[in-house]
């Protein structure tokens, strides 16, 4: 089967209710990345020095050499930056993304994290790229990261974030079956579920925009005011959405060596004060958010159209376009994926097959539709869908005069165009259907053929909406 794995739909226009505790309008989640001592370094067995997220613009790896300046920048994060951040946030619920080898080299900092009841999630074994690792190598690193994390902190990590991940990372982490959440995603403002084999894994998305990493890249923040302004605007927008009834989550990413500098920490202090000046703000760890979401919005098991075999797909959707299973067969062969596992997603694929078909095939779909209030309806030989649709506006309870009018219009229309009059009944009333009948019969055939095709597509859309909401 031709399948596209990415989900470009997500929650769409109607996200689930977050129901944050105490009716909070927004959940604010602050992450402190602890990476110092876990970065690329030949002392750590790596091939070259670190080149990522530092004060050195355009830094490059030094193969086979230590980079003294880079090392000392990272050391600043552990020696000074961490403590400055800890003094500011020690009484708040913070999540630490802790690189296991860095935590093992930070006994004082780990003790401070635990004393503040901060959540310490796993940030992998080392702060290095995983994109070129084999599955076996990355799987082994995940296991080593968990083992060393427990040794360094005394606790099993409940959350995971690699950051410099591969396309296999989330699946491999989910396969362990031990994490309440994985954060290797930037795809949403709310948590969401992914399924790997038989396991439902909660994803609690992270952020790269509300992140002090932008102090370490060329297209980023150059001073604290920019960081402050961006975080405040992000908070205000999400808070407004929460007040309107759609609460979200604001993730903020910090790094000891970046935000811990004196010229930046002041901006963070002002941001926190801004957040605290509002009512209905829930400051939480990622684990608290994951546990809340699991309780409020547990995974829902349902058959996904993109995962159906051909027989099942045609059985489910072969009647959406009246008596035309070939449309469902054609749709199943297309590039379906998670983004098509909705009423609108299936409709788009079915409609594409219908629209691309030659005129004689589309005409066959039109002629498969029954007359409105015609002989088939009287004989109760309509499909279940057509029967319900016609009954919804009372076409099954016509007076003799109304039935006579419909019969005459049906005959005149079919004689002129060669196909029955088609209209999305659920969008109309008996009176508006009669008015459309009388108006459209004056069209030329090309115009009316196009209109009939549009009505067929609309009928299919309404049928799918009803099917998916059942």
pLDDT at 378 (0 to 100): 47
pLDDT at 393 (0 to 100): 57
Distance (Å, rounded) from C-alpha 236 to C-alpha 301?
35
Burial group, residue 188, by CB count within 10 angstroms (0-12, 13-18, 19+): middle
pLDDT at 341 (0 to 100): 93
Helix axes 82-89, 262-276, angle to 10 degrees: 20
**CA 202, 204, 210 angle in degrees (round to 5)?**
170
Are the C-beta atoms of residues 258 and 264 closer than 8 Å to each other?
yes
pLDDT tens for the chain, 470 residues long, are: 789 998 989 998 889 999 999 999 999 999 999 998 888 787 788 777 776 667 667 778 778 888 788 788 888 999 999 999 999 999 999 999 999 999 999 999 999 999 999 999 999 998 888 888 899 999 999 999 999 999 999 999 999 999 888 999 999 999 999 999 999 999 999 999 998 888 999 999 999 999 887 887 777 777 888 899 999 999 999 999 999 999 999 999 999 989 999 999 999 999 999 999 999 999 999 999 999 999 999 998 888 999 999 999 999 999 999 899 999 999 999 999 999 999 999 999 999 999 999 999 999 999 998 777 554 444 344 466 655 666 665 565 666 677 777 788 888 899 999 999 999 988 988 888 888 988 999 999 999 999 999 999 999 999 999 999 87
In this structure, what token pair is assigned to residue 270?
Answer: 């002002």
Any idea which residue has 């590039």 for tokens?
335
First to last CA, the chain: 27
The 3-class secondary structure across the chain, one letter per residue, is CCECCCCCCCCCCCCCCCCCHHHCCEEEEEEEEECCCCECCHHHCCCECCCCCCCCCCCCCCECCCCHHHHHHHHHHHHHHHHHHHHHHCCCCEEEEECHHHHHCCHHHHHHHHHCCCEEEECCCCECCCCCCCHHHHHHHHHHHHHHHHHHHCCCCCEECCCCCCCCHHHHHHHHCCCCEECCCCCCCCCEEEEECCEEEEECCCCCCCEHHHHCCCCCCCCHHHHHHHHHHHHHHHHHHHHCCCCEEEEEEEEHHHHCCHHHHHHHHHHHHHHHCCCCEEECCHHHHHHHHHHHCCCCCCCCHHHCCHHHHHHHHCCCCCCCHHHHHHHHCCCECHHHCCHHHHHHHHHHHHHHCCHHHHHHHHHHCCCCCCHHHHCCCCCHHHHHHHHHCCCCCCCHHHHHHHHHHHHHHHHHHCCCCCCCHHHCCHHHHHHHHHHHCCCCHHHHHHHHHHHHHHHHHHHHHHHHHC
Residues 6+ apart with CB under 8 A from 453: 354, 355, 362, 366
Q: How many CB atoms lie within 10 A of CB 84?
A: 18
Distance (Å, rounded) from C-alpha 179 to C-alpha 194?
13
Residues 6+ apart with CB under 8 A from 302: none
The model's pTM? 0.88
Backbone φ, ψ for residue 355 (5° rounding): -65, -35
In this structure, what token pair is assigned to residue 377?
Answer: 């309806």
Are the C-beta atoms of residues 427 and 455 closer than 8 Å to each other?
no
369 part of the active site = yes
**CA 413, 414, 415 angle in degrees (round to 5)?**
90
Are the C-beta atoms of residues 256 and 85 closer than 8 Å to each other?
yes
């Amino acid at each position: 089967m031709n399948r596209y794995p990415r989900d470009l739909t997500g929650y769409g226009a109607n996200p689930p209710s977050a129901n944050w505790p105490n009716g909070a309008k927004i959940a604010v989640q602050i992450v402190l990345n602890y990476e110092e001592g876990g970065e690329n370094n030949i002392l750590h067995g790596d091939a070259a020095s670190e080149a990522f997220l530092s004060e050195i613009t355009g830094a490059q790896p030094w193969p086979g050499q230590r980079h003294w300046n880079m090392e000392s920048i990272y050391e600043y994060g552990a020696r000074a930056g961490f403590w400055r951040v800890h003094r500011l946030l020690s009484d708040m619920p913070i999540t630490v993304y802790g690189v296991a080898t860095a935590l093992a080299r930070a006994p004082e900092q780990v003790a401070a994290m635990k004393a503040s009841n901060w959540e310490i999630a796993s940030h992998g074994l080392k702060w290095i790229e995983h994109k070129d690792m084999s599955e076996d190598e990355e799987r082994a690193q995940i296991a080593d990261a968990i083992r060393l994390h427990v040794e360094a902190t005394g606790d099993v990590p409940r959350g995971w974030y690699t950051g410099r991940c591969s396309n296999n990372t989330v699946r491999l982490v989910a396969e362990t079956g031990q994490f309440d959440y994985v954060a290797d995603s930037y795809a949403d403002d709310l948590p969401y579920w992914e399924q790997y084999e038989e396991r439902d894994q909660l994803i609690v998305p992270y952020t790269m925009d509300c992140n002090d990493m932008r102090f370490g890249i060329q297209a980023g923040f150059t001073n604290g005011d920019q960081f402050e302004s961006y975080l405040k605007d992000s908070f205000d927008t999400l808070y407004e959405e929460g007040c309107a009834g759609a609460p979200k989550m604001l993730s903020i990413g910090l790094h000891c060596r970046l935000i811990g500098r004196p010229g930046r920490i002041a901006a963070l202090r002002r941001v926190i004060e801004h957040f605290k000046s509002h009512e209905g703000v829930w400051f939480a760890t990622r684990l608290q958010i994951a546990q809340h979401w699991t309780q409020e919005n547990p995974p829902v098991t349902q058959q996904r159209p993109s995962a159906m075999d051909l027989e099942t797909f045609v059985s489910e959707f072969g009647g959406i376009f009246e008596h035309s299973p070939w449309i469902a067969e054609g749709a199943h062969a297309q590039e379906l994926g998670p983004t098509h596992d909705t009423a609108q997603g299936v409709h788009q694929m079915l409609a594409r097959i219908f629209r691309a078909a030659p005129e004689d095939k589309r005409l066959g779909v039109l002629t498969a539709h029954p007359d409105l209030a015609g002989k088939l309806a009287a004989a109760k030989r309509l499909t279940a869908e057509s029967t319900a649709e016609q009954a919804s506006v009372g076409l099954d309870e016509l007076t003799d005069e109304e039935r006579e009018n419909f019969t005459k219009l049906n005959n005149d229309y079919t004689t002129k165009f060669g196909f029955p009059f088609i209209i999305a009944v659920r969008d109309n009333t008996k009176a508006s259907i009669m008015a459309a009948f009388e108006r459209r019969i004056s069209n030329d055939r090309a115009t009316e053929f196009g209109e009939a095709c549009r009505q067929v597509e609309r009928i299919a859309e309404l049928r799918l909406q009803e099917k998916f909401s059942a």
